[in-house]
Amino acid sequence: MSEVRDDRQYTETHEWILDNGDGTFTMGVTDHAQALLGDMVFVEVPSVGDEASHEDEFCVVESVKAASGVYAPADLEVIEANEALDDEPELVNSSCYDDGWLVKFKADNIEDLMSAEDYAETLD
Amino acid sequence: MKQTPLYQAHVDAGGKMVDFGGWEMPLNYSSQIEEHHQVRTDAGMFDVSHMTTVDFKGTDAKVFLQTLIANDVAKLTTSGKALYSCMLNENGGVVDDLIVYYLSDEDYRMVINAGTTEKDIAWINAKAEDFDVTVEPKFDLAMIAVQGPNARAKVFEAMPGVEEVAGELKPFNAASLGGLFIARTGYTGEDGFEIMLPEKSAEFTWKMLLEAGVKPCGLGARDTLRLEAGMSLYGSEMNDEVSPLEAALTWTVDLNNEDRRFIGRDALEALKGNGVKKTIVGLVLDGKGVIRDHQKVVTSLGDGEVTSGSFSPTMGKAIALASVPMGVTGSCEIEMRNKLVSAKIVKPPFVRNGKVLV
């Protein structure tokens, strides 16, 4: 069974978004997504200061099996990228909700996210 | 879907079961990369019971196989000796690639791919009509490949009596013990055995191997290991429309004996006369990203295509086998996710016996 955490929200494309409460958000891929992709070998994150429009592919997580785009959940500006993933892409497998986060960003408004409960239902 | 006698053992071990050409097989148990390293550094085992063993018996067994396959079984003169070969159609395309074991001039054993089994058996039976040979698929055999630098020692520990018959086996040779058939062969670039055994003994043997510290490995690791070893995969590097001369498998085609008119020989000789236009090379990516099957390869002599692309856990880089215009050397570019990325052209294997060779 995939882990889904109550403290954050989700997208249909299996990303999680954590509201940091100060106009910034942290984002990563869900446990379901990492399990499906298998062993991560490269993670491509944007640079600090990069801007992305809603639904742009702005990160790529790549496993032995497949490459998968990560999409911007809103118009956003990247304020931090997880550099640890350069050397340890496997953090996305071992700790997708904590040490394996991908980016932190600023955004005014994020719409259409799912609650943990709704997301868990889509996995059934 | 078909299941091997080890299906339950895979499920019990947490195997992630997938449809592999109609067989329900484990892709990985936990981390595919750890399973890969397990084979490079210690010992891992694969259930390859989906592959098919076919026995050829009769006074014409030798001459039939000399006609059926592109390598020459006349090279085999000691019992248990193995030969890798392609079986060709009249156009020189590859019907399948296989290993054939010599037992006597009237007794050979062949191992063919799972996905091509039905096609192969029909092909072989049709070609065997005019020969005094019986073609007998052994669907009741299981097969376990134990691979890695410590594989042989762990097999001897797990399977009493095996060391006496297989302890002195040289690479690419096999021996029998009752219903066991043990070959020092594999598909990983490491030492080890491929063990054929009656299906009712498979689960017990698997458990004894687990007890001896041999870790189960799935098809995912099997593919990255064979790719590092530079070994061809039927359906990727060659198929019914690609000849061995175009797939860097010329070494498996024996044209020495002019009188041996094996199936496809005329087509190969014609192709040779006209000049072979393409071959398979190795590619190594220095940058980030993973090379994937069917990506376009751009070279100074024209375009090619990735036939097998993946990530090499041993090298920590993406590697591939690719079909490219004959004579290309140096570097090329691969079209990856809408970008052209530079890659080095190398001669496989990439890795053998735990060491990086490119």
* pLDDT tens by residue, B161-177: 999 999 999 999 999 99
Alpha-helical segments (H) within A4-115: 31-37, 84-87, 91-94
Q: Which CATH class is domain B7-49+139-228?
A: alpha beta
User: Which pLDDT band, with edges at 50, 70 and 90, does A1 fall under?
Assistant: confident
Rounded Cα distance, A2 and A29, in Å: 12
Which chain A residues are closer than 8 Å to B290 by Cβ?
41-42, 62, 64, 67
CA distance B293 to chain A (A): 11
Domain contains A16? yes
Domain contains A3? no
Domain contains A4? no
User: Measured between CB atoms, which of A62, A64, A90 is closest to B224?
Assistant: A64
Sorted by sequence, the CB contacts under 8 Å of residue B316 that are 6+ apart come out as none
Nearest residue on chain A to B29, judged by CA atoms? A38
Question: Does residue B127 sit in helix, strand or coil?
Answer: helix
- In this prediction, residue B34 carries a pLDDT of 97
Q: What size, in residues, is chain B?
A: 358
The answer to whether the CB atoms of A44 and B311 lie below 8 A apart is no
Q: How far is CA B82 from CA B272, B274, B331, in A?
A: 27, 32, 36
Q: Say how many domains are in chain A.
A: 1
- In this prediction, residue A124 carries a pLDDT of 82
User: Measured between CB atoms, which of B28, B290, B337 is closest to A41?
Assistant: B290
| pLDDT at B20 > cutoff 90 | yes
Mean pLDDT computed over B9-24: 96
Mean pLDDT computed over B112-122: 97
User: Which pLDDT band, with edges at 50, 70 and 90, does B233 fall under?
Assistant: very high
Where do you find CATH 2.40.30.110 in chain B? 277-356
Q: Which fold has domain B277-356?
A: Elongation Factor Tu (Ef-tu); domain 3 (2.40.30)
Domain contains A44? yes
The answer to whether the CB atoms of B289 and A67 lie below 8 A apart is yes
The answer to whether the CB atoms of A42 and B310 lie below 8 A apart is no
* pLDDT tens by residue, A63-98: 999 999 999 999 999 999 999 999 999 999 999 999
CA distance B69 to chain A (A): 34
Count residue pairs from A and B with Cβ separation < 8 A: 34
The answer to whether the CB atoms of B290 and A60 lie below 8 A apart is no
Q: Which amino acid is at B353?
A: N
Domain contains A93? yes
Confirm or reject contact between A94 and chain B (CB < 8 A): no
Nearest residue on chain B to A65, judged by CA atoms? B310
- Say what percent of chain B tops pLDDT 70: 100
- In this prediction, residue B206 carries a pLDDT of 98
Rounded Cα distance, B209 and B6, in Å: 13
Where do you find CATH 3.30.1360.120 in chain B? 7-49+139-228
CATH number of domain containing A101: 2.40.50.100
* pLDDT tens by residue, B240-253: 999 999 999 999 99
The answer to whether the CB atoms of A67 and B33 lie below 8 A apart is no
pTM of the model: 0.95
Q: What size, in residues, is chain A?
A: 124
**B75: exposed, middle or buried (Cβ count in 10 Å: 0-12, 13-18, 19+):** exposed
Give the domain extent around A99: 9-117
Confirm or reject contact between A86 and chain B (CB < 8 A): no
* pLDDT tens by residue, A11-38: 999 999 999 999 999 999 999 999 999 9
* pLDDT tens by residue, B332-341: 999 998 899 9
User: Which pLDDT band, with edges at 50, 70 and 90, does B286 fall under?
Assistant: confident
